[in-house]
Amino acid sequence: MDTLPDLVLFFLSLILLTFSHNVVANESTGAGAVGVIVDQSCRRGKEAKVAMEIAIQDVYHNMNHSFHLHIINSQSNPIHSAFAAKDLINTHKVQAIVGPQTWEEAQLVADIGNQARVPVLSLVDATPRWAADRWPFMVQAAPNNFIQMKAIAAIIDSWEWHRVTVIYEDTESSTAGIIPHLYDALRESGVEIAHLLPLPPLVSSSSMNEELERIKQGQCRVILVHLSLPLAIKLFERAKEMEMMHKDYVWIATDAFTNLVHSINASSISSMQEIIGVKSYFPKNESRFQDFYKQFRERFISEFPEEDNREPGIYAVQAYDAVWTVCQAMIESDYQEDGGHQKLLDTILDSKFQGLSGKIEFTGQKLAPMSTFQIINVMGKSYRTLGYWSDAFGFSKSLVGKVSNSSSMKNSLVPVLWPGSSLTPPRGWAVPTKAHPLKIGVPNGTTFQEFLVVDYKGSGNDFSVGGYAIDLFNLTVQNLQYYLPYKFDCFNGTYDQLVQQVHSKNFDAAVGDISIVSSRLEYVEFTHPYTQPGLVMVVPARRSRSNKAWLFMKPFTNSMWIITGVTTIYNGFVVWLIERNHSSELRGSPLNQIGTLIWISFSTLFSLHGEKLHSNLSRMALVVWLFVALVITQTYTANLSSILTVKKLEATITNIETLQRSNAMVGYCRGSYLARYLVDVLDFKNNNIRNFSSANNYAEALRTREIEAIFLDVPIAKLFVAKYCKEFIIAGPTYKTGGFGFVFPKGSELIPDINKSLLNLSEEGKLRELENKMLEKEKCEGDDEDDQEGSSISVTSYWVLFILTGGTSTVALVVYVVHCCRKLEDAMSQTTWKLMFSVIKHYQLSRKVSDVESSTNLQS
């Protein structure tokens, strides 16, 4: 990294050694002289020069000390700067050099300053960490701005963009300084760099066009620009011509551009509208700054009349503060004293005051890195401030009062105006349009039509696709937050070839029963698995007798049992009630009678003993009941025997060890990863495995015992077993594999969204619904001799019989009760007559008696 400068330094030292002998020292200017090396051909240097001159004036007014400034124009040439430094030190006897603004110049000047033990205050805002160790006399008087990369990452993260194209100026300071920090910041927020595009400082228009064209052809629409002002202006003008400053594009600029955005003339700024940027922040409300601002405007226009705009920026205030620091330190360290360089350096490093750019305080030869940035949006002839970002608090609309403290700029800052004067945030990548839909590869002919089917209607390319995988993909895309047009394209070849096609961008994606396999991840990216991942063994099934203790209950459902019991007892009760008067057996104590009742109830089910009945009513009830009971018992017997002959399905082989011991052949569904898995992981011999390409082939091979078992991915196995539910069964453990996923090219912008949409569908239960629908479509094939195997008989099939017997018994009961009542009534009425008669008789008798008595009374 620094071998080249070393070499340059070596030759330079040689030249300077000879050169310096010819210089006559100018003793008279030695005292209180400060050397300045700036590049006055650029705006940055111009601002710095004017600011430093103002600083010298202000020092004089404030501290009653005058200093000479020896300003040398480096013309942005590092060698020039080196000569200038030598000259300043040897000829002008400057006590300190306030320095170059680019790292390339600063290195050489620092090296010379270090040899002469003259403090060099560099104004470079991106200095590597090792510089302080290498050049003890170098002081970084401009804070490092590396943290702005975190702000940029936070902006990108805020809008959920996942990829970014980076255009940077190919200088040593960007490659060594800012780019690694950008990498780090982007990695932390999970943002990928789509292209990293270095532009040489003197890039030709044609090669810039080429690069921009490449970006335009690509998918990524978020472009980060880290270029110096002239190069950035050139780039944006080109981009504007190529219609890349339009809707859907996002341009983000670093402070290399934004710190000078106020200086751009109206004609140039019109080509860079709606750029957002990160700008170094310094407080502008202080009265000191207001004074400086006034002086600066006056002086700047007189010194550089060619400049359109005379506002001071961060580079001006930094230069002002650097000169102030030096002068203050020189006064404090008594600069007249000879050989006081070390003392001066120490005093500079001990400086502590409030400068125009903020607090000036050095730790380890440098200012604390800049941690607050302004977020700006270029608009009209200038820009507007959207808010601020600081390392500690994140985004906030303002720095005073209540800090909003948000990690996303989405709702915490002023709304952004995006390119194309749009208020809706761009998606960040080239969205497929109706004219250019996504081209989705689909494998030609999979094993299960329910999973994926390519249906050729006629000849040529006229086909339709369908099945679970397609339905799910449709649903996933519909569930996205935006409209995504796509079309399917059939691919004739192996799955690995299909994956390669996606890799080489012949397809934008692939959908099908494509397994997520590590070797494929080298070329493409998969979404979340959309099926249950795993590999299972399917083997032929045999039937086994079930032997459960409660099997005898099985022929009837519980309600059937209850209804039968209730009907039985009811019928028994009716017969008992009717027959009670005729048979002596049915009398006795209540307990005895209940026993008899239950006995009658149940014995009728199994034997006929109608001859014992005496009443026609009970006979009627019993005959109907006997008929019903006959039907029920016969049904029970028949169903029980059918249940006993039906056997449960059972796997013939339950583990792979059995297969390996018997050296059996096993099959697998075509697809390259399975063969390797069977051989490498499950330890099958290479010539014991065989591939098949259709469900019928597997079934046939299993039936003919060509293979003993077949290994299938879980979703395929489920379909297979659903289709041949009488013959084959899943056995043994599930081996962990990747499952099926949708395939996208590496770094596709769609993947995060598709991942999210898929997870959302599975959380909402839609995935399961779809899978059940697919399995239901699969009709069970094979022998269906015992289709209604072992189903229990329920009341619904017999309700007519129950109503018949229940009705008959009830009729008998009613007739009997009515009959009894009438008898009772007869008996009752007879009793009443008798009673009435006796009452009347008694009355008449008593009349007679009273008559006799009254007559006797009269008589007496």
Ligand X SMILES: *[C@@H]1O[C@H](CO)[C@@H](O)[C@H](O)[C@H]1NC(C)=O
Where on the chain is the footprint of ligand X (CB under 6 A)? 24, 26, 28-29, 64, 91, 233, 265, 267-268, 283, 285-286, 308, 393, 399-400, 403, 405, 444-445, 456, 466, 470-471, 474, 490, 492, 526-528, 670, 672, 675, 690-691, 751-752, 755, 760, 763-764
In the complex, minimum distance from the CB of residue 573 to ligand X, in angstroms, rounded to a whole number: 59
78/533 with CB nearer ligand X: 533
Kindly give the interhelix angle for 799-859 and 616-645, rounded to the nearest 10 degrees. Answer: 150
Least separation in angstroms between residue 684's CB and ligand X is: 13
Phi-psi region of 815 (alpha: psi -120 to 50; beta: other; left: phi over 0): alpha
* Closer residue to ligand X (CB): 109 or 452: 452
**Type and span of the H or E element at 651:** strand 647-651
Question: What is the closest distance, in whole angstroms, from the C-beta atom of residue 548 to ligand X in the complex?
Answer: 42
Nearest approach, Cβ of 481 to ligand X (angstroms)? Answer: 7
Q: Which is nearer to ligand X, 247 or 528 (CB)?
A: 528
Decide: helix, strand or coil at residue 708. coil
The whole-angstrom separation of Cα 212 and Cα 240 is 11
Distance of closest approach, residue 21 Cβ to ligand X, in angstroms:
15
- Is 85 in contact with 112 (CB distance < 8 Å)? yes
- Which residue, among 482, 625, 623, has the nearest Cα to 567 in the 3D structure? 625
Q: Which is nearer to ligand X, 18 or 686 (CB)?
A: 686
Looking at the Cβ atoms of 404 and 593, the one nearer to ligand X is 404
Q: Using the 8-state DSSP alphabet, how is residue 274 labeled? A: T
Minimum Å distance from CB 710 to ligand X?
13
CB of 772 to ligand X, least distance (A): 16
Residues 6+ apart with CB under 8 A from 333: 340, 343, 344, 346, 347
Q: What is the DSSP letter of 61?
A: H
Q: CA–CA separation, 442 vs 637, rounded Å?
A: 56
In our burial notation (b when 16+ CB lie closer than 10 A, e otherwise), range 124-161 reads bbbbbeebeeebebbbbbbbbbbbbbbbbbbbbbbbeb
| 81 three-state secondary structure | helix
Smallest separation (angstroms) from ligand X to the CB of 233: 5
State the nearest-atom distance from the C-beta of 296 to ligand X, in Å: 19
For ligand X, the closer CB: 285 or 518: 285
Q: How far is the CB of 34 from ligand X (least distance, A)?
A: 13
Q: Tokens 């060594």 correspond to what residue? A: 176
- Beta bridge partner(s), residue 250: 222
CB of 330 to ligand X, least distance (A): 14
Q: Which is nearer to ligand X, 233 or 344 (CB)?
A: 233
Residue nearest to ligand X (CB): 492
Distance CA 120, CA 636 (A): 108
Q: How far apart are CA 279 and CA 145, in angstroms?
A: 10
425 versus 466: smaller Cβ distance to ligand X: 466
Tokens of 175: 């490659």
Q: Which of 194, 247, 191, 188 is CA-nearest to residue 223?
A: 194
| Residue nearer to ligand X on the CB measure, 2 or 308 | 308
Torsion of CA 778, 784, 790, 793, to 10 degrees: 90
Grouping H, G, I as helix, E, B as strand and the rest as coil, residue 800 is helix
Nearer to ligand X by Cβ, of 357 and 615: the residue is 357
Cα Rg of the chain, angstroms? 50
With respect to ligand X, which residue has the nearer C-beta, 204 or 285?
285
Q: At its nearest, how many Å lie between ligand X and the CB of residue 260?
A: 10
Helix (H), strand (E) at residue 34: strand 33-38
Q: Which is nearer to ligand X, 468 or 570 (CB)?
A: 468
Shortest CB 673 distance to ligand X, Å: 9
Q: What is the closest distance, in whole angstroms, from the C-beta atom of residue 195 to ligand X in the complex?
A: 18
CA dihedral 440, 443, 447, 448 (to 10 degrees): 20
Query: Residue 348 CB: number of other CB atoms within 10 A?
Result: 24
CB-nearer residue toward ligand X: 106 or 153: 153
Bridge-based pairing of strands 276-280 and 120-122 is unpaired
Residue 25 vs 566, nearer CB to ligand X: 25
* Dist CA 725 CA 784 (whole Å): 10
Residues 6+ apart with CB under 8 A from 117: 137, 341, 342
3-state SS, 731-779, equals EEEEECCCCECCEEECCCCHHHHHHHHHHHHHHCCHHHHHHHHHHHHCC
**Least distance between ligand X and beta carbon 77 (Å):** 20
- Tell me the closest approach of the beta carbon of residue 551 to ligand X, in angstroms: 45
Phi-psi region of 420 (alpha: psi -120 to 50; beta: other; left: phi over 0): left
Torsion (CA) 271, 274, 278, 282 in degrees, nearest 10? 90
Instruction: Judge whether 532 and 739 are in contact, CB under 8 Å.
Output: yes
The 276-280 sheet, strands edge to edge: 192-199, 163-169, 222-226, 250-253, 276-280, 372-379, 382-390, 394-396
Which residue, 312 or 790, has its beta carbon nearer to ligand X?
312
Q: What Å distances lie between residue 30 and 92, 94, 204, 251, CA to CA? A: 6, 6, 46, 50
Toward ligand X, which CB reaches closer, 393 or 802?
393
Nearer CB in complex with ligand X: 333/697: 697
